[in-house]
């Protein structure tokens, strides 16, 4: 298909195909991928610029600190990211700024908060009405199924509360046992030292356990089972994954036929949980944020089981991001995070699987299987989270998405944050028509919430390169700024 500008009689401005208008009237059809580029129906390379829409979508529109985490089934996300009647103002502003490619955030909780298989049709109708407006402003979008630290109820956003209860967690004891840090979700009253602590939740008991059960429950938590909608007893991994696939299909069927929706993202910043953790006594400082109280996996197990436990405390520093400055005893009230009437009967899930135990003679916890999460518990083979768990689910999810919409939908894929794309992600593991969409963070701006004259190469830090090599500084002089850049190793 030829663009009108190829004609000798073409007058500039005589067509609708002006810059950063990604509607089909401007592109001559749908946007698609070609090699490492997005192209339109005329074969032109499209340089997409846009924004997340939006962080407010992670929290319900009727959130109440006084009742949280109670009444989880009654929340609503209608009106997130903004009320429908305000949409024209926001979309027009984005259009004026040239930000016409939107990553539209939808959480599992927003769709299925009332219980397994109970979908919020009012919310699905709301996001359909919202996304249907985009072509009027030349905007296109892909829908990102969003999570951080598994769920709002474990200190982030994403999954509904009932997923944690399915595994046996008591929502009201997650914070008291150090299984989650919830002040960020609750909001308000933060002191300086409490800013930016939420990513540490990935290593805490609630989020790490949920991620492990979701991706690898059949391998590491085979004793944990539940009932599906038909009343059949199934593994917790199958239950969670089936629920996620069904929820995803509901979202795709609600908005997948809209002109502006070019694709879907399976999951924001997935995390492996405990899978591949080499030791129960520490986490990797170079890849996992250490800030405030940071219990190891073993210490988290003890805390969740009701044992007061001393853990390391970390604070921000320079040039290292954080440093250990003390120790503190958590859960002095001996609270338990595991429900007595839950599937583990009040016992820690990982104690139930023989990973650790309580020595009554020593009156102390002991590790029984130090490398439990590194190798498959039954066959002893070394585990690789990507090839053993992530890629198979990714392809299954992509098949469901395309079956519910169309084969031309683009699948956006992320890996674990701050990690390089694994060499194992070869074509035989990739769904068709994918876009690799990892995130990059300016660590200093992330911590300070402001742009300045200093930042670091986060991926370089995670590779244990020299910390000074990964520092980037801009020095201001009378003649203007001078950027001091050290070339990082590859």
Domains in the chain, CATH or no CATH each: 48-439 (3.20.20), 442-490 (no CATH)
According to the model, what pLDDT value does residue 19 have? 53
Residue 325: phi, psi to the nearest 5?
-120, 0
> What tokens does 143 get?
């829908």
Other Cβ atoms closer than 10 A to 292: 19
Q: Write down the pTM of the prediction.
A: 0.93
| Angle CA 183–270–399, to nearest 5 | 135
- Please list the rounded mean pLDDT of every run of 10 residues in the chain (490 residues): 72 61 90 94 92 94 93 98 97 91 98 98 99 97 98 98 99 98 84 84 98 99 94 97 99 98 98 96 90 97 99 88 95 98 98 98 97 93 97 98 95 91 96 93 77 75 64 67 52
pLDDT given for residue 490 in this prediction: 45
Which pLDDT score is estimated for 489?
46
Instruction: Supply 351's token pair.
Output: 């104690």
SS (H, E, C) 328-380: EEECCCCCCCECCCCCCCCCCHHHHCCCEEEECCCCEEEECCCCCCCECCCCC
């Amino acid at each position: 298909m030829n663009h009108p500008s190829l004609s000798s009689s073409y007058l500039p401005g005589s067509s609708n195909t002006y810059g950063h208008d990604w509607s089909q009237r401007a592109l001559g059809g749908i946007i698609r991928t070609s090699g490492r580029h997005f192209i339109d129906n005329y074969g032109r390379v499209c340089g997409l610029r846009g924004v997340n829409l939006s962080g407010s979508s992670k929290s319900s529109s009727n959130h109440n600190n006084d009742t949280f985490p109670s009444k989880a089934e009654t929340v609503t996300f209608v009106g997130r990211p903004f009320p429908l009647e305000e949409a024209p103002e926001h979309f027009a502003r984005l259009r004026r700024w040239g930000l016409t490619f939107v990553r539209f955030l939808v959480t599992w909780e927003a769709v299925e908060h009332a219980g397994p298989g109970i979908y919020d049709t009012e919310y699905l109708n709301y996001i359909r009405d919202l996304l249907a407006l985009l072509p009027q402003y030349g905007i296109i979008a892909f829908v990102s199924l969003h999570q951080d630290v598994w769920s709002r109820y474990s200190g982030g956003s994403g999954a509904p509360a009932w997923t944690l209860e399915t595994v046996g967690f008591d929502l009201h004891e997650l914070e008291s046992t150090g299984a989650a840090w919830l002040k960020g979700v609750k909001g308000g009253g933060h002191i300086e030292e409490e800013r930016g602590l939420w990513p540490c939740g990935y290593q805490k008991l609630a989020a790490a356990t949920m991620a492990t059960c979701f991706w690898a429950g059949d391998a590491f938590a085979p004793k944990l089972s539940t009932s599906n909608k038909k009343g059949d007893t199934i593994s917790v991994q199958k239950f969670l994954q089936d629920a996620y696939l069904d929820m995803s299909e509901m979202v795709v069927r609600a908005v997948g036929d809209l002109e502006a929706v070019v694709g879907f993202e399976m999951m924001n910043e997935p995390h492996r949980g405990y899978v591949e953790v080499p030791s129960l006594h520490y986490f990797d400082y170079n890849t996992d944020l250490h800030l405030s109280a940071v219990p190891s996996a073993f210490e988290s197990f003890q805390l969740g089981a009701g044992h007061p436990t001393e853990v390391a405390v970390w604070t921000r520093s320079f040039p290292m991001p954080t440093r250990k400055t003390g120790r503190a005893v958590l859960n002095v009230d001996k609270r338990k995070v595991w429900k007595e009437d839950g599937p583990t009967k009040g016992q820690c899930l990982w104690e139930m699987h023989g990973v650790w135990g309580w020595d009554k003679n020593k009156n102390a916890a002991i590790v029984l299987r130090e490398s439990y999460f590194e190798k498959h518990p039954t066959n002893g083979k070394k585990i690789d989270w990507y090839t053993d768990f992530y890629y198979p689910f990714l392809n299954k999810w992509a098949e469901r998405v395309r079956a519910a919409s169309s084969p031309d939908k683009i699948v956006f894929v992320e890996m674990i944050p701050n990690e390089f794309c694994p060499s194992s992600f070869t074509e035989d593991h990739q769904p068709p028509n994918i876009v690799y969409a990892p995130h990059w963070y300016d660590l200093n701006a992330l911590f300070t919430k402001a742009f300045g004259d200093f930042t670091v190469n986060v991926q370089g830090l995670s590779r244990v390169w020299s910390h000074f090599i990964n520092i980037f500084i801009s020095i201001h002089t009378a003649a203007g700024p001078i950027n001091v850049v050290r070339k990082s190793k590859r």
